[in-house]
Structure 1
Amino acid sequence: MLRAAVYPFLAVVALALVFLLISTTHAIAALASGLAVVAGGWLAARIALNGGAQAATAAVGRLVAAMVLKWVLVIGVLAIGIIQFRFPPMALLAGIAVGMMFQVLALARR
C-alpha cells in the first residue's frame, strides 16, 4: 500500500522539477494536482482495505466509497486550482496523469 503512494509521489516531484524550467506556477500546479492523486489514492486504500472480513455488499460499498472520495478530492483540487488560483490547466492535468500512471504501474509491479 505504501509503494502505491511512494512511486507516484516521486514521479510527481520529478514532473514538478521539470515544470520548474517553465515557471514556478507550472511547477506548483503539477505538484498540487499530483499530490491530490497520491493523497486520494492513499486515502482510498485506507478506506477500502481497513474493513476486515465483510460481506460482499459491504466490501463493494467500501471500494465504491473509496473511489468516489478519491475522485472528489482530485476534481476538487483541479477546480480550485483553475478557478481560485488560476493555475495553468495543462500543468494540473499533467500532474494528474503522471500521478495516476505511476500509481497503476506501482500496483502492477511485483
Structure 2
Amino acid sequence: MLRAAVYPLAAVAVLALAFLFVGPKYAIGAAASGLAVVAGGWISARMALGGGVQAAGSAMMRLILAMLLKWVLVIAVFAIGLVWVKLPALPLFAGLAVGMMFQVLALARR
C-alpha cells in the first residue's frame, strides 16, 4: 500500500519540477492535482481496507464510499485550483493524469 503512494508521489514531484521551467503557477498546479490523487488514493486505501473482516455488503459499501471520497477530494482540489486560485488547466490535467497512471502502475507491479 505504501508503494502505491510513493511511486506516484515521485512522478508528480518530477512533473512539478519540469513545469517549474514554464512558471511557478504551472508547477503548483501540477503538484496540487497530483498530490490530491496521491492523498485521495492513500485515504481511500486506508478507509476501504482498514476495517477488518466484515460481511460482503459492508465491505462493498466501504469500497464504494472510499472511491467516492477519493474522487470528491480530487475534483474539489481540481475545481479550487482552476476557479479560485486560477491555476492553468494544462498542469492540473497533467498532474491528475500522471498521478493516476503511476498509481495504477505501482499497484500492477509485483
Q: TM-score higher than 0.5 here?
A: yes
Distance 2:29 2:109 in 1: 28
In the TM superposition, residue 68 of structure 1 has moved relative to its aligned partner by 0.2
Structure 1 residues not aligned, in runs of 5+: none
Structure 2 residues not aligned, in runs of 5+: none
The one-character-per-residue Cα deviations of 1:15-70 (angstroms, maximum 9, x if unpaired) are 00000111110000000000000000000000000111111100000000000000
Which residue matches 1:47?
47
Distance 1:94 1:70 in 2: 18
Distance 2:32 2:82 in 1: 11
Structure 2 counterparts to residues 7-86 of structure 1, below 5 A: 7-86=7-86
DSSP-derived class of the 2:21 partner: coil
2:6 maps to 1:3: no
The one-character-per-residue Cα deviations of 1:54-105 (angstroms, maximum 9, x if unpaired) are 1110000000000000000000000000111000011101000000000000
Distance 2:89 2:70 in 1: 20
User: Kindly, what percent of the aligned residue pairs are identical?
Assistant: 65
TM-score, length-scaled by structure 1: 0.99
Instruction: Show structure 1 runs of 4+ deviating over 6 A.
Output: none
- Give the residue type in structure 1 aligned to 2:101: M
Q: CA RMSD in A?
A: 0.4
Report how many aligned residue pairs link the two structures: 110
